[in-house]
Amino acid sequence: MSRYARQMILPEVGAEGQRRLAEARVLVVGVGGLAAPVLPLLAGAGVGHLTIVDGDRVALSNLHRQTLFSEADCGRAKAVVAGERCRAINGEITVEPVVDRLTPANAPELVGRCDVVLDAADSYAVSYLLSDLCLARTIPLISASVLGLGGYVGGFCGTAPSLRAVFPTAPDSGARCETAGVLGPVVGVIGACQAQMTLNWLLAMQPSPLGQMVQYDGRSLRAISFRFDTAPEPDIAFRFVAASDLRDRDRIVDLREGAPPLHPQARRLSVEGIAADLPAPGTRLALCCATGLRAWRAAEAIKPIWPGEIVLVAASAS
């Protein structure tokens, strides 16, 4: 009996659907709690090529929610271990681990050779970088985020609006799992939904998962879903660039304190200091911080008083 017999019985799959899955190339960015259900489910379903990108190593504090890993994996590269788990589930598929962070420098090439992108990275900078690239290339992006007892997953780009259309302004909070906490089953629910949305798109199910958002609350055990097919793209979008893309003629401001500057020309200024000494017309303003959030908020404060181009650099994704 075929390993896929139970899903090929479904009229939504069949032989044609299984062929589509086998030919699919999926990029998964981030091998944490979300990827723990995503990767085994996609590998088991027979998705033919999985590219797995993560530069981190397994830590003991990961294990309560990142169930791909065991205690014996601590210290090993997450992408490598995840690749081994996927191959153990399905030896018929191709798995390509990339032990590196996703950055503006390597993202275009990685995104350009896939059919659909899964954002499981827990990084504002990475999420918006992927959204910008996928929107420009009409590639679907299935993006998810979890914090505390809640989270969301949505189908963006491709034939749908981008992440920026739904979340056009800087997030209110810079909290992350490592600072605000997270409960493992919530991550599992959202990650499984992320895998389901991916399969729905690969199998051309209707209604399309692109343009749909699902929000889940683990406290009340309730989920809500809505569509955003007509959400407009924002007029202003501050794009993320790599530190290596900065030019000597840019006005570069590093908003971090105590960290080595990302560029030799970087100045240490507050938002008030930037506003008091704005660049000449035609100069690009590059704002740098750790995660991209502080730089984004600074850009929102400067844009109303200065019409030039503003780009963001996140040290954690550069």
Tell me: do 65 and 213 sit in the same domain.
Answer: yes
Asked, for residue 26, whether it belongs to a domain, the answer is yes
Q: Structure pTM?
A: 0.94
Number of residues in the chain:
318
Tell me: do 129 and 264 sit in the same domain.
Answer: no
Domain count, the chain: 2
The catalytic residue among 134, 177, 193, 288 is 177
Q: DSSP states of 157-183 as a string?
A: ETTS--HHHHS-S--S----HHHH-B-
Q: Residue 314 pLDDT more than 70?
A: yes
Residue with tokens 């890993």: 69
Tell me: do 167 and 250 sit in the same domain.
Answer: no
Q: Which of 192, 227, 262 is the last residue in one of the domains?
A: 227
Q: Which of 199, 227, 255 is the last residue in one of the domains?
A: 227
Instruction: Give the model confidence (pLDDT) of 138-184 as tens digits.
Output: 999 999 999 889 999 999 999 999 999 999 998 776 666 666 678 89
Tell me: do 167 and 312 sit in the same domain.
Answer: no
> Please, what's the b/e burial string for 67-106 (b: 16 or more CB within 10 A of its CB; e: otherwise)?
bbbeeebeeebbbbbbbebbbebbeebebebbbebbbbee
Tell me: do 198 and 292 sit in the same domain.
Answer: no
d(CA 288, CA 262): 8
Q: How far out from the chain centre does Cα 273 lie?
A: 32
Tell me: do 131 and 69 sit in the same domain.
Answer: yes
Asked, for residue 235, whether it belongs to a domain, the answer is no
Asked, for residue 175, whether it belongs to a domain, the answer is yes
Tell me: do 276 and 191 sit in the same domain.
Answer: no
Asked, for residue 76, whether it belongs to a domain, the answer is yes
Asked, for residue 233, whether it belongs to a domain, the answer is no
Instruction: Give the model confidence (pLDDT) of 179-215 as tens digits.
Output: 667 889 999 999 999 999 999 999 999 999 999 999 9
**257 or 306: whose pLDDT is higher?**
306
Question: For the chain, how far is it from start to end, CA to CA, in angstroms?
Answer: 47
d(CA 240, CA 126): 9
State which residues form the domain around 273.
243-317
Which residue from 142, 116, 109, 97 is spatially nearest to 21, judged by alpha carbons?
116
In the prediction, which pLDDT does 195 show? 98
Asked, for residue 236, whether it belongs to a domain, the answer is no
d(CA 299, CA 302): 5
d(CA 111, CA 26): 9
Helix (H, G, I), strand (E, B) or coil at 108: helix
Asked, for residue 267, whether it belongs to a domain, the answer is yes
Tell me: do 179 and 130 sit in the same domain.
Answer: yes
Cβ-contact 270, 297 below 8 angstroms? no
Q: Residue 91 pLDDT more than 60?
A: yes
CATH number for position 247: 3.40.250
Tell me: do 167 and 263 sit in the same domain.
Answer: no
Tell me: do 111 and 258 sit in the same domain.
Answer: no
Q: Which of 180, 195, 227 is the last residue in one of the domains?
A: 227
In the prediction, which pLDDT does 89 show? 97
d(CA 279, CA 272): 14
Tell me: do 28 and 158 sit in the same domain.
Answer: yes
In the prediction, which pLDDT does 178 show? 65
Cβ-contact 57, 77 below 8 angstroms? yes
217: β partners: 150, 222
Q: Burial, 232: exposed, middle or buried (Cβ in 10 Å; 0-12, 13-18, 19+)?
A: exposed
Tell me: do 10 and 138 sit in the same domain.
Answer: yes
In the prediction, which pLDDT does 172 show? 75
Pairing of strands 116-119, 25-29: parallel
Helix (H, G, I), strand (E, B) or coil at 271: helix
Q: How far out from the chain centre does Cα 106 lie?
A: 14
CATH number for position 184: 3.40.50.720
Q: How far out from the chain centre does Cα 180 lie?
A: 19
The question of whether 157 is a catalytic residue gets the answer: no
In the prediction, which pLDDT does 1 show? 54
Asked, for residue 151, whether it belongs to a domain, the answer is yes
